């Protein structure tokens, strides 16, 4: 088969719905994220990862270096962004295929919600590694698709889950939420026998179990080869060591509510739209249960209620593995499926307003009212979902614009510092650089709009000596080695540094024992 014939055969197999999803991802993804794709707006981590092999095995991400290597180890905004959109497109295709999405409007809205979701925006705050994370999300989704679609799909699914988990562990909740939404969709909208569905649940458990065992074995082997140890960051080194289910369950519920509302004293359009979405979701689910008289199938109704109640705990499942985890926005991708579940109900609503809503015993007037109510509910679903997408796009651009201002302010400060160093020849002769204290706001690593967007800040992006060292060398050709922590602590306690004024006052930058000292504040 020659290349042209091969392309023609591939073209014949591509469904029109896949094209709709691809176009939608780019159509909504670019207004949301082009600001980041076409500019270089680093944060505190990006400064260090201007060129990085992403070998973060100490964080348990033993495969991230492979996933990020596709785009090279440089922080290439447009390339990383383009690959991310492609991965998200395929992820959306797999989700829509698994959930049997039929309406074009649902395909468009679901794709738009996925690509503009705050967890995706937060990931693009760390654009140097975003393509690797999006590939991990794709692998997790494909693992579940194969597991639930094919009898022995859990075997390749386990390998894919192993790879995705080894890129970013938090996406396991994304995979678990896909199983839950698939199950709810099947229970509400099909006549699939419970034993058949139970066999799929067992395959999903087998996929997760085998994948995790393989990941653990491979990760330990690679840790041994590289003579590395797991860090304490986010409780990675203590997974499973402290099981406190009641405390974890309480925190899951708190975080779940907080994601949708934010601080009650600071509710905004985001919060209001989320409450409308949840109201429509609850209304639609109850209407479906009543319409199908599911109380006549107690076992089916039991599993519907069970899976619905499990959602908050699955979205924040890592709380049950370690109490040291702090769920920032990058880790909350599984919450996307709450919005997707509303669209799944909407996707099945069309036929119900004309057929299923006409219940036996009801008068024509009553049936007409049921149909009208169903149509109104559908319009509200589309309207609220579209407004949520629009709001997500606004949130993305606000984050990128704020971060750009932060970068501009930071580089201006580095430029002033370089001028000071060049003006005093003795400062250029220093071999090390030590930064004492921190600028106000430099430790804030998120914007709470709400939502709380990790990866963005309105402070400076320099938080310690390494940042100053890298930026001075990268933009001004001044080479200094960052001082070690103990050396900085000793300098901070010395009488000479204690008597120095704080930056940018005159005398706040000086050479002390061959080290370029910058005093930012009197407190560490």
- pLDDT digits 0-9 by tens, 252-292: 999 999 999 998 888 899 999 999 999 999 999 999 999 88
Q: Let me know if 159 is exposed, middle or buried by CB neighbors in 10 A (0-12, 13-18, 19+).
A: middle
Q: What is the pLDDT of residues 112-149, one digit of tens each?
A: 999 999 999 999 999 999 999 999 999 999 999 999 99
Binned at pLDDT 50, 70 and 90, residue 100 comes out as very high
Q: Where are the beta strands (DSSP E) in 32-158?
A: none
CB atoms closer than 10 angstroms to residue 103: 18
Residue 243 has pLDDT above 70, yes or no: no
Considering only CA atoms, give the Rg of the chain: 26
CB-based contact 314:173 (threshold 8 Å): yes
Identify the residue whose tokens are 């250029």: 428
Residue 367 has pLDDT above 80, yes or no: no
How far is the C-alpha of 214 from the C-alpha of 447, rounded, in Å?
Answer: 37
How far is the C-alpha of 126 from the C-alpha of 367, rounded, in Å?
Answer: 53
If DSSP codes are grouped into helix, strand and coil, which group holds residue 67?
helix
Mean pLDDT of 158-182: 97
Average pLDDT, the chain: 92
Short-list 19, 107, 188, 99, CA closest to 382: 107
Retrieve residue 124's tokens.
Answer: 């693009």
| 115 CB-near residues (< 8 Å, 6+ apart) | 24, 25, 28, 29, 32, 33, 85, 88, 92
| 413 CB-near residues (< 8 Å, 6+ apart) | 460, 462
How far is the C-alpha of 504 from the C-alpha of 520, rounded, in Å?
Answer: 8
How far is the C-alpha of 427 from the C-alpha of 516, rounded, in Å?
Answer: 6
Retrieve residue 455's tokens.
Answer: 């990866």
**pLDDT value of residue 452:** 93
Residue 72 has pLDDT above 90, yes or no: yes
Binned at pLDDT 50, 70 and 90, residue 323 comes out as confident
Q: Let me know if 446 is exposed, middle or buried by CB neighbors in 10 A (0-12, 13-18, 19+).
A: middle
Retrieve residue 178's tokens.
Answer: 């896909």
How far is the C-alpha of 465 from the C-alpha of 436, rounded, in Å?
Answer: 9
| 268 CB-near residues (< 8 Å, 6+ apart) | 262, 449, 450
If DSSP codes are grouped into helix, strand and coil, which group holds residue 516?
strand
H or E element at residue 433: strand 432-436
């Amino acid at each position: 088969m020659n290349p042209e014939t091969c392309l023609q055969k591939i073209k014949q197999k591509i469904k029109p719905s896949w094209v709709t999803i691809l176009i939608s991802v780019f159509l909504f993804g670019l207004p949301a994220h082009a600001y980041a794709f076409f500019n270089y707006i680093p944060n505190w981590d990006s400064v260090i990862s201007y060129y990085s092999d992403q070998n973060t095995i100490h964080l348990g991400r033993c495969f991230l270096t492979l996933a990020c290597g596709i785009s090279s180890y440089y922080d290439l905004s447009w390339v990383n962004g383009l690959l991310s959109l492609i991965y998200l497109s395929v992820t959306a295709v797999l989700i829509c295929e698994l959930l049997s999405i039929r309406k074009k409007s649902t395909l468009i809205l679901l794709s738009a919600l996925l690509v503009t979701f705050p967890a995706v925006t937060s990931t693009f705050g760390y654009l140097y590694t975003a393509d690797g994370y999006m590939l991990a999300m794709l692998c997790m989704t494909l693992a579940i698709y194969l597991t639930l679609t094919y009898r022995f799909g859990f075997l390749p699914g386990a390998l894919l889950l192993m790879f995705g988990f080894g890129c970013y562990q938090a996406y396991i909740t994304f995979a678990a939420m896909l199983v839950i939404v698939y199950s709810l969709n099947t229970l509400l909208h099909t006549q699939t026998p419970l034993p058949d569905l139970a066999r799929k649940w067992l395959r999903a458990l087998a996929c997760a179990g085998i994948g995790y065992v393989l990941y653990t074995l491979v990760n330990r082997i690679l840790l041994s080869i590289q003579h590395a140890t797991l860090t304490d960051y986010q409780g990675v080194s203590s997974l499973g060591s402290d099981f406190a289910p009641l405390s974890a369950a309480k925190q899951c519920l708190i975080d779940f509510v907080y994601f949708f509302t934010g601080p009650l004293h600071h509710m905004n359009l985001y919060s209001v739209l989320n409450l409308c979405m949840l109201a429509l979701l609850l209304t639609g689910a109850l209407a479906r249960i009543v319409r199908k008289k599911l109380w006549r199938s107690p076992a089916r109704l039991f599993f519907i209620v069970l899976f619905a109640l499990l959602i908050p705990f699955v979205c924040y499942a890592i709380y049950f593995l370690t109490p040291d985890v702090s769920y920032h926005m990058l880790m909350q991708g599984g919450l996307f499926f709450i919005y997707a579940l509303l669209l799944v109900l909407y996707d099945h609503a069309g036929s119900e307003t004309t057929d299923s809503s006409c219940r036996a015993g009801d008068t024509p007037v009553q049936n007409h009212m049921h149909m009208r109510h169903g149509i109104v509910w559908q319009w509200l679903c589309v309207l609220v979902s579209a407004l949520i997408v629009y709001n997500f796009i606004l949130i993305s651009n606000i984050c990128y614009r704020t971060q750009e201002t932060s970068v501009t302010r930071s580089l201006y400060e580095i430029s002033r510092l370089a001028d000071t160093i060049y003006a005093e020849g003795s400062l250029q002769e220093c071999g090390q650089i030590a930064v004492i204290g921190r600028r106000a706001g430099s430790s804030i690593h998120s914007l709470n709009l709400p939502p709380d967007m990790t990866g963005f800040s309105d402070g400076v992006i320099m938080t310690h000596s390494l940042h100053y060292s890298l930026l001075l060398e990268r933009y001004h050709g001044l080479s200094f080695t960052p001082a070690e922590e103990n050396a900085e602590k000793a300098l901070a306690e010395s009488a000479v540094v204690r008597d120095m004024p704080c930056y940018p006052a005159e005398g706040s930058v000086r050479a002390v024992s061959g080290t370029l000292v910058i005093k930012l504040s009197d407190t560490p």
